[in-house]
Each structure stands twice: as C-alpha cells, then as structure tokens.
Amino acid sequence: MQVRLTDKPDGSLIVREGDSNEHEFILVIGSEGRYRVRGWLSGRDAKQRHWLKSYGNREPAYFVPQSDLKSLEALRALIVSGEVR
C-alpha cells in the first residue's frame, strides 16, 4: 500500500505510469496535523485513459477524482480476506 497526500480539499489521487499495478494507493487530504482519508484504488484500476493528464512540463499521470475512489470499508474487507497484505 502507498499513501498519497495533498493539501487540496478537492485534490485527486495521482498515480504514475511507473507505479505498481499491484499496490493499493490511498488518498489522504489535509495539512498541519489535520488529515482525512478519502479513499483508495489499486494501481491497475487507477490507470484508466480518461484520467490521464499532463500539467506543465511534467510527464502524464492518472488523476483519479475522489468521487471515483473506493471506500475504506472495501479496503478493510480485502485486508481481512487476506487479498491485501
């Protein structure tokens, strides 16, 4: 599992092409000791063409909106079932 942090309340989960398809990526928003977990997605599920964007001179990345993230309950269920370690 990997945690991605943004201080933007409406920020997206950012996953890059070189990130593992097998990892779960968790989006946390906040700053200065005040944080909220917004959801998660696997690398494989995050790498959908319609989320691929490039800003400035940076290489393209997948920007998954918070509304498309899976719930923490879904992640907890995978952990309990042994599918995620």
Nearest one of 72, 14, 26, 19 to 44, comparing CA atoms:
19
- What's the CA gap between 2 and 85, in Å, rounded? 12
Bridge partner residues of 36 (DSSP) = 29
Number of helical H runs and strand E runs in the chain? 2, 6
Q: Domain ranges for the chain, please list them.
A: 2-81
Residue with tokens 């943004």: 6
Its pTM stands at 0.88
Per residue in 5-51, pLDDT (tens digit) is 999 999 999 999 999 999 999 999 999 999 999 999 999 999 999 99
Give every CB contact of residue 76 below 8 A, 6+ residues apart in sequence. none
